[in-house]
Amino acid sequence: MLSVVTMIDKKTILENIPEAIDKIAYPKLGRRNSGKVRDWYIRNNLRILITTDRVSAFDKVVGTVPFRGAVLNKLSQFWFEKTRDIVANHMIGITDPNVMLVSECQALPVEVIVRGHITGVTQTSIWKMYSEGQRIIYGIKFPEGLVKNQKLKKPVITPTTRATGPGGHDEPITAAEIIKKKLVPPNIWRQIEKVARDLFERGTKICQKGGFILADTKYEFGLSKNGKLTLIDEIHTPDSSRLWLKKTYRERFKKGQEVENYDKEIMRIWFKERGYSGKGKAPEIPDSLKVQIATRYMEVYEKITGEKFIIDLKVPPKERILENLSMLI
């Protein structure tokens, strides 16, 4: 079958702003479920996971950016394939640039954050706590004299509980508390710690080849139907990770300057500068910023995977998704 694959330039992004995917409603598949970024339908033991173009910042949906969902979905696909030997994952296959067919798991109630660098300004970030004088953070002892954005001697695992309900926030928790509160069985938690370190090491190596530092990242795990530890959700995307430009990191760090972010941070900064941090009405993202975000996300995809980001634009994205979903019935 002949299909039109298109390389995405700035003009194409601008033209596609009104086509950005805000949600995918397809009642024939049953009830639509949605998180901040994804919509999904459950069919038997399968989850049809649709990554929309919705943008979330400060735990709120604040707009859409064209092609963002496809980048996130295709990048996760790349990483799931590259890490299969470390841990089983939920991916069965991709049925559209925005859709992944996954096995439905029982999600574990913790998010597993691995950090190779000390940074961040939110309540769960280790730089925030360290700069306020704490030295035992997430049950881990940190040495004196660390500076913002510094590389840690060895990556640390800083779990959080998963926020429940709309607008809920994740809370820091220690490994000991996870066991004590029986959030995760001890043998599974030990397995998670090992797997998370190995995933982070693999991620760091592959990102470096693409010119990025994987400063930190978040993993979500679940148990499959037969109780097997399974990596779920997304992996090593610019939404779930901090990606810094390697080329300028050392120079900037030495001078005490901020690093160059290629992740969600660009959006957080823009909103913060306008006084928005999750409360009240979010300011509308201007087209110029949408173009910048889409361009950055595609650049990340291309540098990490070594492949061009191409997409079929013969049919408008929403229509294309619905057409591809109809084949799953």
Contacts with ligand ATP by CB under 6 A lie at 35-38, 47, 49, 56, 90, 102, 104-105, 107, 220, 222, 232-233
Closest residue to bound ligand ATP by CB = 35
With H, G, I as helix, E, B as strand and everything else as coil, classify residue 175. helix
How many helices, marked H, and strands, marked E, lie in the chain?
A: 9, 18
Between 129 and 239, CB nearer to ligand ATP: 239
Residue 119 near residue 125, CB atoms below 8 Å: yes
Task: Provide, rounded to whole angstroms, the least separation between the CB of residue 315 and ligand ATP.
Answer: 24
In the chain, the DSSP E strands lie at 5-7, 33-34, 38-43, 46-51, 54-57, 60-64, 91-96, 99-103, 106-117, 136-137, 140-141, 151-157, 160-161, 171-172, 212-223, 229-232, 241-245, 310-312
Between 170 and 313, CB nearer to ligand ATP: 170
Residue 156: closest CA among 108, 207, 112: 112
Between 21 and 37, CB nearer to ligand ATP: 37
Task: Provide, rounded to whole angstroms, the least separation between the CB of residue 105 and ligand ATP.
Answer: 4
Between 216 and 220, CB nearer to ligand ATP: 220
Convert 214-253 into a string of H (helix), E (strand) and C (coil).
EEEEEEEEEECCCCCEEEECCCCCCCCEEEEEHHHHHHHH
Task: Provide, rounded to whole angstroms, the least separation between the CB of residue 260 and ligand ATP.
Answer: 23
> For residue 141, what are the β-bridge partners?
136
Task: Provide, rounded to whole angstroms, the least separation between the CB of residue 156 and ligand ATP.
Answer: 21
Residue 69 near residue 24, CB atoms below 8 Å: no
Task: Provide, rounded to whole angstroms, the least separation between the CB of residue 302 and ligand ATP.
Answer: 23
H or E stretch at 303: helix 287-305
Task: Provide, rounded to whole angstroms, the least separation between the CB of residue 183 and ligand ATP.
Answer: 15
Task: Provide, rounded to whole angstroms, the least separation between the CB of residue 189 and ligand ATP.
Answer: 18
Between 97 and 222, CB nearer to ligand ATP: 222
Between 90 and 115, CB nearer to ligand ATP: 90
CA–CA separation, 312 and 286 (whole Å): 25
Between 104 and 265, CB nearer to ligand ATP: 104
Residue 58 near residue 268, CB atoms below 8 Å: yes
Task: Provide, rounded to whole angstroms, the least separation between the CB of residue 21 and ligand ATP.
Answer: 13
| C-alpha dihedral sign at 78, 84, 86, 89 | positive
Between 253 and 262, CB nearer to ligand ATP: 262
Between 233 and 263, CB nearer to ligand ATP: 233
Distances (CA, A) of 165 to 59, 106, 132, 268: 11, 17, 29, 21
Task: Provide, rounded to whole angstroms, the least separation between the CB of residue 305 and ligand ATP.
Answer: 21
CA–CA separation, 34 and 199 (whole Å): 27
